């Protein structure tokens, strides 16, 4: 069971120093940050107390080698050059997983094998999205409490698989899907906290004179004072989508 506040698990100011050579590290270490340049990677299977692992900048071969030697509870992966993520399904103990800035993968792995997963973050890089064919594998994560999808593009544009995650407490998702998909989830996941489960939201920092973001792909940013009629139209549309899924 996840005991740490997820927001602080992988903070950059809380991560350990990069390990250049595992031969220099105490095998009782509980946290490690390794890269594709870390030497003596084969020693990883000696770290029986390892619970939290950061992996930066590795190739497919290095990625497969590393994950065949460990079984951490918390795994953070960033700037990978990895197309095939399937080996993640072998991690029986993983509860917390973040995948950032890996733009080579086009599909997820068999998430039905990671039944203990409670916290999942999937995101692209600053300039490139994480392009996936579908989110279907997510529907197996019945224990998931927190899901973050950021800078992500899904070929079938469907958020429907997330509807299966009835225990989800919080969904943090970017505004990159059709409006109807957010409206559907607002009905199928009534107990999930998500600021996208509304026709529009107020921006914390206005962009010039625009202080409202309409929810949905390609929807505009508007001014709450002068665009009242437009906002009402978007509100009616959102409610119509909701009624569709209530029925």
SS3 78: strand
For the chain, give percent helix, strand, coil, nearest 5: 30, 25, 45
> Which whole number is the average pLDDT over 206-227?
97
Q: Residue 1 — very low, low, confident or very high, per pLDDT cuts 50/70/90?
A: very low
Residue 60: φ, ψ to 5°: -60, -45
Min mean pLDDT across 2-6, 154-158, 183-187, 239-243 is at: 2-6
> Which whole number is the average pLDDT over 1-5?
51
Query: Which tens digit of pLDDT belongs to each residue from 84-117?
Result: 999 999 999 999 999 999 888 989 999 999 999 9
- Write down the mean pLDDT value for the chain: 94
CA 143 vs CA 1, 71, 130: distances in Å: 10, 19, 24
Q: Is the pLDDT of residue 74 over 80?
A: yes
> Which whole number is the average pLDDT over 133-146?
96
- Which region, left, alpha or beta, applies to residue 40 given φ > 0 means left and ψ of -120 to 50 means alpha? left
Pick the CATH number of 6-174 from 3.30.565.10, 3.80.10.10, 3.40.30.10, 3.40.50.450: 3.80.10.10
């Amino acid at each position: 069971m996840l005991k740490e506040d997820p927001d602080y698990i992988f903070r950059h100011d809380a991560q350990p120093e990069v390990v250049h050579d595992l031969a220099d590290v105490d095998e009782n270490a509980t946290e490690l940050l390794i890269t594709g340049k870390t030497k003596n990677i084969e020693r990883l299977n000696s770290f029986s107390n390892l619970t939290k692992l950061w992996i930066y900048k590795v190739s497919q071969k290095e990625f497969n080698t590393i994950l065949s030697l460990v079984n951490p509870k918390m795994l953070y992966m960033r700037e990978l050059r990895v197309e095939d993520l399937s080996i993640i399904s072998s991690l029986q103990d993983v509860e917390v997983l973040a995948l950032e800035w890996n733009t080579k993968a086009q599909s997820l792995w068999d998430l039905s094998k990671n039944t203990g997963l409670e916290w999942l973050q999937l995101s692209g890089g600053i300039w490139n999205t994480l392009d996936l064919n579908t989110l279907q594998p997510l529907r197996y994560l019945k224990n998931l409490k927190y899901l973050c999808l950021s800078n992500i593009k899904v070929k079938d544009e469907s958020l429907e698989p997330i509807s299966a995650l009835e225990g989800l407490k919080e969904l943090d998702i970017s505004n990159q899907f059709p409006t109807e998909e957010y409206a559907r989830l607002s009905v199928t996941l009534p107990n999930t906290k998500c600021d996208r489960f509304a026709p529009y939201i107020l921006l914390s920092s206005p962009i010039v004179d625009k202080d409202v973001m309409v929810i949905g792909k390609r929807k505009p940013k508007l001014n709450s004072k002068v665009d009242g009629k437009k906002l009402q139209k978007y509100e009616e549309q959102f409610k119509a989508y909701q009624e569709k899924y209530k029925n």
